[in-house]
Structure 1
Amino acid sequence: MFEKGCDGKLRYTEVGGLFYVDLLKTDIDQYIRYYNHDRIKSKLKGLKSVDWRAQSLAIA
């Protein structure tokens, strides 16, 4: 799981004293999905990345 440290950076926490590769992979996949599909950017006129790409391809 990711958590924010006191310096504001995301860190991967240990689960039961061990790092689980499967959990890390799942968390990374979820973050990539969020970054590409759910995140709203003000630079993209308030659109999600996927919506902005679809709109720009429709215009071209």
Structure 2
Amino acid sequence: MMDSEVYLVFARLQLVDPLAHLGTVRAPNVALARQYARTTYDEDSWIEMMVVPRSATIWVKKVEERA
């Protein structure tokens, strides 16, 4: 099985709208992540859509798990 990464998917319907988090896709590379996002979240006529590797997110504040 190929290694894959989780990508966060964001989109907006109009330029004045904020980007909305639609969900995630798992893919072995960014090209397939783009394709999976397009086909998975095609229910609306998005004017913009983007994928971001989950590993690229930077926490500003996060609740730590407690043992």
TM-score w.r.t. length of structure 1: 0.22
Q: Greater helix share, 1 or 2?
A: 1
Q: Which has the higher contact order (CA 8 A, sep 6+)?
A: 2
Q: Greater strand share, 1 or 2?
A: 2
Which entry has the higher C-alpha Rg, 1 or 2? 1
